[in-house]
Amino acid sequence: MYWRGHVGIALLAYAPVAGATLAIGEPELTLLGGALAVGAATLPDADHRLPISHRGPTHTLAFAVTVGLLAGALAAAALAVGGAGRGLPEWTPAFVGGAVTLSLCSHIAGDAITPMGIRPFRPLSTAHYSLDLTPAKNPRANRMFLVVGVLSTAVAVGVTH
């Protein structure tokens, strides 16, 4: 997928989380999680600018979990410094790490629907997965995912707000 598709799939994955965090009265976390989901949606494609293969190490579950743990640790450090995050729940770092991991996993899922597919379990397994539904560059598919992601998040927020 291209950036529109990945952002849409990330928002689609995040929509139930947005609804749940609003339902428990955490609008700030809802907004933060949405920003993280969108911001991390295309991070694996940084491999285009690195001396590594595309859909290589940055397109694995190990990468998604590692970056999510780092994001959670950074959030914990930020909250510990100078009273930052006053009013946020103590589980904010876990939420941040989870939102980033979810977004990165949605990227992997988005690439799994393309003919090129992915190898998400490297280095433990070289098994290749592809649903071969649409080429990554298909503009209609990318726009459709963006629209569906935005609408699903809007509905989740609208229903619970």
pLDDT in tens, 11-35: 999 999 999 999 999 999 999 999 9
Alpha-carbon Rg for the chain, nearest whole angstrom, is: 16
Residue-wise pLDDT for 85-136, tens only, equals 677 899 999 999 999 999 999 999 999 999 999 999 999 999 999 999 999 9
Domain ranges of the chain: 3-82+92-160
Please tell me which residue, 161 or 62, carries the higher pLDDT value: 62
User: What's the pTM value of the predicted model, to 2 decimals?
Assistant: 0.94
User: Cβ(103)–Cβ(41) under 8 Å?
Assistant: yes
pLDDT of 82 reads 59
Alpha helices in 41-119 (DSSP H): 61-80, 92-112
Cα–Cα distance list, 6 to 10, 11, 38, 85, 123 (Å)? 6, 9, 8, 29, 24
